[in-house]
Chains A and B, each alone.
Chain A
């Protein structure tokens, strides 16, 4: 149990996917302008990360590894994720139209999101059990959510500032991201000592 909590907390705060691992920078910079789209995107990412882990972990453990097909990992995972996202979209559209309306537009964006492929590969590389892998995915998703929501707040403050001309747009956003990511450095070493 303690191990699960450590995995969860370190995925959210210390190894934050966006701010310390640099995965999923695309939606982080692109969709964080407004709070509601940031929230929608992050919820879709959490959902797809959990689904993708639930699908890829058994494939790797029971299909690829026993048959010495480990080298097919990249190609199989990206196809599974792409197919899964399509499937989720169809199912949502048919059975949960209201949820599809709020999350649907973000789903295709997630297929080529490196955070999702990253979390599935990292779960295998770290040698997690199925439960640990799911907890890690949940933590990574929550970390993504936290970073997105925090950053959309930071960005709404930048909007009203007088920024030097050459820094307008993306450059000042990146500098703001640097400061946001600085705040996450403060969590280093906290989780390991929490249960010591």
Chain B
């Protein structure tokens, strides 16, 4: 796999949100406006790049048995840094993301990439993978947020749109709208995705609780769903 393929697989073919169905919580929660979605996407991408690079560099040092706790500590460290940076330079974003900023720690995309990619590959490849996956996450978030903000709030990045701003469908920015738009987007991807990756390549394998979860829910056709 060359570098370009490694980068682009995260965008569409293995899009972490729409195809791998990882990171559903922040996707649903922060896609109420495009600005929030961009902020969340960038914050998670920065954490993902840092953690992938460090985990890949330390892949021969970290003992296999305690690797998950090690990854969690590393990721939590980077999340704290990002949290402090956002608090210092973008306090408005910090206020609107609220609890979801520290919750990047338990975002399965980050732990999943560490487990599936970074601990098996070289530093540069892991960094490229992280950039691709982060971009894919941001892309999916912004897509969802665009739909929800344009119809629910009649604006795009805070700028009102002439006709729609007088005819808001405010349910779109509320919780039910989030579930609905997400469901429809995944259905759309199912409809048009021709070469979906095989099930073994993603999902359960990347989740630290796969052994347990597999017994409960991944036995059917359904893809693994994780936070």
Which A residues have a C-beta under 8 Å from some C-beta of B? 19-26, 29-31, 33, 37, 71-75, 78-79, 82, 105-106, 108-109, 111-114, 117-118, 121-122, 125, 164-175, 177-179, 181-182, 184-185
Contacts and interface: CB of A to CB of B under 8 A. Distances in A.
Contacts of A177: 179, 183
B148 to A, nearest CB: 12
B69 to A, nearest CB: 6
Most A CB atoms within 10 A — which of B108, B222, B227?
B227
9 contacts: A22-B25, A24-B227, A30-B224, A31-B213, A74-B105, A75-B73, A118-B99, A166-B188, A178-B176
B225 A25 contact: yes
Interface of B: 21, 24-25, 28-29, 69, 72-73, 76-77, 79-80, 83-84, 98-99, 102-103, 105-108, 111, 171, 174-180, 182-184, 186-188, 190-191, 208-209, 211-213, 215-218, 220-227
Contacts of A106: 212
Contacts of B190: 165-169, 171
B179 A26 contact: no
Contact of A22 (B69, B178, B216, B223): B178
B60 to A, nearest CB: 24
A118 B48 CA distance: 20
Contacts of B98: 125
Contacts of B227: 24-26, 112-114
Nearest to A40: B216
Nearest to A167: B187
A170 B105 CA distance: 24
A182 B99 contact: no
